[in-house]
Structure 1
Amino acid sequence: MKQLTEYEAAKRDIIMSIVYIIGVLILFYMALEASLVVAIIICMPLEIAFIIRLIHEVKKFKKLKKNDAP
């Protein structure tokens, strides 16, 4: 198995964060069938956490990209 560089790992983490956000949005839509309150209580903290994680990963990616530039 190939070892990922920090740059590749950061790209992978960004993609996974986007996939998580889409997954939580789908979960939110399905929870709306039951109740708006349930959907908000369950999904919004997850959504906020994944958005914060995405912001953190993008900052890390930009830092790595800037450091790799000659």
Structure 2
Amino acid sequence: MADLVRTTLGLTAQTAVTVQELACAEPGCAPIETKIAVLDEAPRRWTLHAPVSEVDDEVVRKILTTRPEGENEPR
């Protein structure tokens, strides 16, 4: 998925991209979330309310192209 993020956002191979699957215990939060982060001069992050195994390439492309600046607050 990190390569998909780099390609979609036009990042170099040296740009750090992380993809993590995390449990969420907060009320109203999905039990498992996928967090994507781009760690460059202006770090950005996105949250998908599903485990990595349920996130397809089209969903990732859509969130990255809709909000290339990232999310200010996790959803």
Give the TM-score, by structure 2 length. 0.22
Q: Which has the higher helix share?
A: 1
Higher RCO structure, 1 or 2 (CA under 8 Å, sep 6+): 1
TM-score (norm 1): 0.23
